[in-house]
């Protein structure tokens, strides 16, 4: 956190405290009935009386040199003990006073103090919320910059890498056709083919992430879309001895979606769930609405994700598995962002993970 941010954060706490203390002082100072006496006396005379009385009620009367009463709140005081004073209009006079019981803070002052405390707590909460939003916006801004950079880089990579790969693959096939049939040589060529195919797949994933196709939006049934993907993916789970469950919500309205991109996003999440779920485990796909927002949830009973890794999951090229491209989840997040939606993840180490795709209604 830089110096400017620290100053702003400090001011958010100090200013409300000063406002509360100042307003409390003003209300308490004006709350006692001795305020009328203060208006009648000079500042110095009132300070002397205040030092004696504290917060106790003062019964008083002011008399002139002829002991005639000029003002006061009591007529029963004697003139035997008089204090020389100066009135607010700088005229000499005498004061007779008697101290009453100590005054308590009125109820409305206590009420104002409570309101001020609630206001202070609200400001603190609001400041923390703003700080969280600022961090999220900064993270989104950094991600957008990375995506823009990757988009520019992809244009050059498409020619610099794909063309040589195609040339290598064609020449490899020509060499393979001229060589004698030997099982040992055949295995080596197969290994080279697999590595070339892996490089081409990684390049395809990168280009798809950095330069996604334009959205083609149509009204789609979310449940129908999920059912089709689950039917397609079911054999994968069955071969890995993993249970695949579907829970479809009711009354979900049709949404404007790019069907192919959303299917790819769901498939990426299902593949991730399968990779981290052990045999006999379960992957659950759920649809529904939360706060009037349709969603798709993909949860698993796999190994889970550590808290410190959650913030990195959607960063390009961050991967938790050996041989992973690191663009799958970043691609899913980009798809959801283009659909004006959101993706959230909840996970606990050793207990599984849940990814939730929220859509704009």
Give the model's confidence band at 266: pLDDT under 50 very low, under 70 low, under 90 confident, else very high: very high
Decide: helix, strand or coil at residue 76: coil
Range list of H helices, the chain? 3-29, 35-40, 43-53, 107-178, 183-210, 222-239, 259-275, 307-310, 328-338
Highest mean pLDDT among 39-43, 110-114, 239-243, 303-307: 239-243
Distance of CA 287 to the CA centre of its chain: 24
- Higher-confidence position of 218 and 31: 218
Higher pLDDT, 65 or 53: 65
DSSP string, 94-122: EEEEEEEEEPPPPHHHHHHHHHHHHHHHH
- Residues constituting the chain: 361
DSSP string, 204-260: HHHHHHHSPPPP--EEE-HHHHHHHHHHHHHHHHHHTT-EEEEE--SSPPPEEE-HH
Q: What is the pTM of this model?
A: 0.49
Is residue 354 scored above 80 in pLDDT? yes
What is the tens place of the pLDDT at every residue in 292-347?
Answer: 899 999 999 988 888 878 777 777 666 666 656 566 788 888 889 888 899 999 98
CA angle, 212 then 218 then 221, to 5°: 110
What ranges do the domains of the chain cover? 3-108, 109-210, 218-358
> Quick check: 106 and 58 in contact, CB under 8 A?
no
Domain 218-358 maps to which CATH number in 3.40.50.300, 2.40.160.20, 3.40.50.1820, 3.30.565.10? 3.30.565.10
Q: What is the pLDDT of residues 11-43, one digit of tens each?
A: 666 666 666 666 656 555 544 456 666 677 777
Confidence of residue 245 (pLDDT cuts 50, 70, 90): very high
């Amino acid at each position: 956190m830089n110096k400017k941010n620290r100053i702003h954060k400090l001011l958010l706490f100090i200013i409300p405290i000063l406002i509360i203390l100042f307003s409390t002082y003003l209300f308490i100072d004006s709350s006692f009935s001795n305020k009328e006496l203060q208006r009648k006396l000079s500042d110095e005379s009132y300070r002397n009386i205040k030092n004696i009385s504290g917060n106790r009620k003062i019964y008083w009367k002011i008399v002139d040199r002829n002991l005639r009463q000029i003002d006061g709140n009591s007529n029963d005081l004697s003139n035997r003990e008089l204090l020389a004073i100066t009135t607010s209009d700088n005229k000499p006079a005498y004061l007779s006073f008697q101290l009453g019981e100590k005054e308590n803070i009125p109820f409305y002052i206590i009420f104002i103090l409570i309101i001020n405390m609630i206001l202070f707590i609200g400001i603190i909460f609001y400041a923390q919320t703003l700080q969280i939003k600022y961090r999220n916006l900064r993270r989104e801004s950094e991600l957008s910059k990375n995506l823009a950079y990757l988009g520019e880089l992809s244009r050059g990579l498409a020619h610099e890498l794909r063309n040589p790969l195609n040339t290598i693959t064609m020449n490899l096939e020509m060499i393979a056709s001229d060589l004698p049939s030997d099982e040992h040589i055949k295995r080596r060529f197969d290994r080279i083919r697999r590595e070339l195919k892996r490089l081409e797949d990684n390049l395809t994933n990168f280009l798809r992430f950095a330069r996604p196709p334009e959205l083609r939006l149509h009204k789609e049934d979310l449940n129908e879309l999920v059912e089709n993907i689950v039917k397609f993916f079911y054999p994968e789970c069955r071969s890995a001895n993993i249970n695949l469950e579907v829970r479809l919500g009711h009354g979900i309205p049709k949404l404007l979606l790019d069907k192919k991109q959303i299917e790819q996003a769901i498939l990426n999440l299902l593949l991730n769930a399968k990779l981290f779920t052990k045999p006999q485990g379960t992957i659950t796909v759920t649809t529904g609405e939360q706060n009037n927002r349709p969603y798709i949830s993909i949860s698993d009973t796999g190994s889970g994700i550590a808290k410190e890794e959650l913030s990195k999951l959607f960063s390009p090229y961050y991967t938790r598995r050996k041989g992973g491209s690191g663009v799958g989840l970043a691609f899913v997040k980009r798809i959801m962002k283009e659909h004006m939606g959101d993706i959230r993840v909840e996970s606990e180490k050793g207990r599984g993970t849940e990814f939730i795709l929220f859509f704009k209604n």
